[in-house]
Structure 1
């Protein structure tokens, strides 16, 4: 029954994508090359494989991303999702400061569905990760955050040290919510991750250390292509569940994460890309809520950055 429900969900997503006209038929129909593995120096741009570039025709170019994910934007505009429901953010427009943050929380909380962490009869977090984190180069795999590698979707198991598992990007000990429905099962911050790298990250805060995939006693630094994703997931969680993002670096049961200054910088260094947009759309299909910092990345400055005293306009 669970598999039938999942197939129906993915079929509906496919129909919506076709109707939206988001695919680019003019994009070259080329085979997708698998990114080099960590430690392979043949591809010097490996760290940036999901960082978007805009060509002379206004098309987003992302290495290893199928043409179905490619979006067209006008010069100077940020790439927006084609599936934002009409008027989804209208009530937040013209607000500022705490009023803006509270309205965004209302928007992404109202009607949100809380899935189970593990279930044999209905959608659960495994299903969301398999669908949302699908490897752009191989639909049989998930793409593992932090290590930038693909792994078979069925190569997972809770508690196994050499498979992929479900990484709580906002560490579940920071707020002590475990795997309870809500923060503990929210697909907007749960990502497929290589279990050993997940253990290396542990419950550390995020911040610059000394290069990609490094850590110290307080902070973990992901590769460049994941930095913006991580930042926008942390900002989402802070707004959705009224958590705190600061520069303290404290690791305890308080619902706080950091490092704020670095996360603000990462949001700029690693802009929203088609992979992230696709994932936001898929999680919306499961949970019926969105990450506003993917749909409107500029909101980061209005909620957490140097524009908190200015009114945001959609």
Structure 2
């Protein structure tokens, strides 16, 4: 059976009911890289990141072959989950072989097609790995990690997708092949894997999703991994906006047009959204591909930024600001320190905090602008900054809470007390395991985005079942390996791989942090690479009061009282007397500190808060920054 195709003009209306209302708010009127960055902000927000080992089970939802010739044999009710494999699927007739979800290859090589399937990273793991360490969330992202024939997967290796030339090294049963690269315009001369036309659009939209989803990290990936463009397999060009080599972008745009979005992709997009809580925007709106990668840069280098100055000097950071270039096609700015040829940071703004500096040290800085053609300006003026000997800020991020609770109740709270905004893209969580008497680091979880000064966030295992904290409250929700700790492992917050910032437990030893909640003492204001138990208060298993910065019971009770609430105990309504007209928000909070109800401008037209649906018990009514205890009968 041919796959079900919808004309492109109908795709948006066909699936609009599946796109959450307001999901793409803010994209109207945007084009080019501005649209790409906005889409990144949308699809990178509040994802649920699952473990690599979870994917086999999720493929039973996302990748069933019910679109071609397996409709009658695919019967989940009796455990017969036939998976769709784009590397072996024959759209016009019966496949040469098929796979049940149980036929996952474990490890080692395989001798031919049709023997087992495995998890294929359409963007190879080598792109975002650190040596032998695979990095989450990229490692298990369902939008480009798919089930395919194991033998073909091994033959593909790390070769890019592309147009195969006259020299064919492997031909596979559905017509896909590995050959020498003949993609027009590419300097690369190695091997490529060319899928059949039926799936070229699927591949293109998956790769372009990667370019949008991980904007902000792309320059840190293993782009230009080859010693010359001729043997560079990644095709990433190190830019955050364009992402791929221009000729490769041209090919992906052609594949997107050649193979329109199918019903299979639409269904898969909706199912992955139910699992990961984000979407592939190019399945929802395939026209965005051309709209984003449509920039026509000029050939003139931009003017240099001017008036670079030091706005603030502290012990471990300085704040820089400058007057922007006058050019209209500026993408961003590169910051250089002490005359180095490689920038230490980039930004789209005209100010930045440069952190991780040494106290009582003099530094020099310059800035260059770069435009949509990635042409760079001359350097700005030189700004000199001397860090002071000490200040009241933390030198780096700190782990402030650690919960090793029952089953999957795992949570780590991290706080920024540095005095400035911190870019999280350079930070990761690591975990160490043991094998006999040897210890080794396993897969890592990379943080992303930014955190403001004095902001606190939580990394939470998605299978946690706390009564006082939920997935929706956490900034990062991940079942990655570091968030499966048992209390005996060493877990660290690190900078750029394995530069330890803060840690729980000691390296290369069996720790004793199981079934315990550790809260950093308020007197501790600096992270440390060596765990010291005396810096922490210990609480019972699953204790998570005030996790993520919610108010503690102590905080609530000691709030100043300026209003009167009545009756107390309350039955159906709680009334407030006093000057209530300026109150911006009312919240009801339980004794664990969990916010269970919020109402904006609560007393604009009334004087009461309904408590009719609350279970009996003790609660707090928080009116802006003041809180009052009450009893619900």
TM-score, normalised with respect to structure 1: 0.67
Q: How far is 1:78 from its partner?
A: 3.1
Equivalent residues in 2 for 1:286-305, closer than 5 Å: 286-305=275-294
Instruction: Assess, with a 3 A threshold, how the Cα gap between structure 1 residues 214 and 134 changes in structure 2: closer, same or farther.
Output: same
Shift of 1:260: 2.0
The alpha-carbon deviation at position 100 of structure 1 amounts to 1.1
Partner of 1:135: 65
Map of 1:165 onto structure 2: 118
Distance 1:281 1:307, change over 3 A: farther
Structure 1 pair 110/76, CA: closer, same or farther in 2 (3 Å)?
closer
Is there any run of 5+ residues in structure 1 with no aligned partner, and where? 1-32, 34-48, 53-59, 61-72, 119-123, 310-314
| Match of residue 233, structure 2, among 226, 241, 251 | 251
What residue number does 2:49 align with? 114
State the match for 2:10 in structure 1. 77
Q: Which residue of 2 aligns with 1:22?
A: none
Q: C-alpha distance in 2, partners of 1:221/1:239?
A: 23
Map residues 201-240 of structure 1 onto 2, 5 A cutoff.
Answer: 201-210=156-165, 212-215=175-178, 216=180, 217-240=190-213
> Residue deviations 1:120-168, cap 9 Å, x none?
xxxx222222321111122421011211153111111332533111100
Q: Deviation of residue 95 (structure 1)?
A: 1.4
Judged with a 3 Å threshold, the aligned counterparts in structure 2 of structure 1 residues 305 and 218 are, in CA distance, closer, same or farther, namely farther
Partner of 2:523: none
Structure 1 pair 293/228, CA: closer, same or farther in 2 (3 Å)? Answer: same
Distance 2:4 2:198 in 1: 6
Any conservation in 2 of the 1:284–1:290 contact (CA below 8 Å)? yes
Is 2:273 aligned against 1:284?
yes
Kindly report the root-mean-square deviation, in angstroms, between the aligned alpha carbons of the 2 structures.
Answer: 2.8
Task: Tell me if structure 1 keeps the 8 A contact 2:117–2:150.
Answer: yes
Q: Does 1:86 align with 2:16?
A: no
* Conservation of the 8 A alpha-carbon contact between 2:202 and 2:259: yes
Does the residue aligned with 2:269 lie in a helix, a strand or coil?
A: helix
Q: CA shift at 1:303, angstroms?
A: 1.6
Q: Is the 8 A contact 1:51 1:271 kept in 2?
A: no
Match of 1:196 in 2: 151
* Residue 261 of structure 1, CA deviation: 1.8
Q: Is the 8 A contact 2:120 2:147 kept in 1?
A: yes
Over alpha carbons, which structure has the higher Rg?
2
Give a deviation string over 1:240-295, Cα, whole Å, max 9, x none. Answer: 0123899x672269676663221111101110010011111111111000000000
**For residues 252 and 119 of structure 2, what CA distance do their matches in structure 1 show?**
22
Deviations 1:12-65 (A, max 9, x none): xxxxxxxxxxxxxxxxxxxxx6xxxxxxxxxxxxxxx3362xxxxxxx4xxxxx
SS for the counterpart of 1:92 is coil
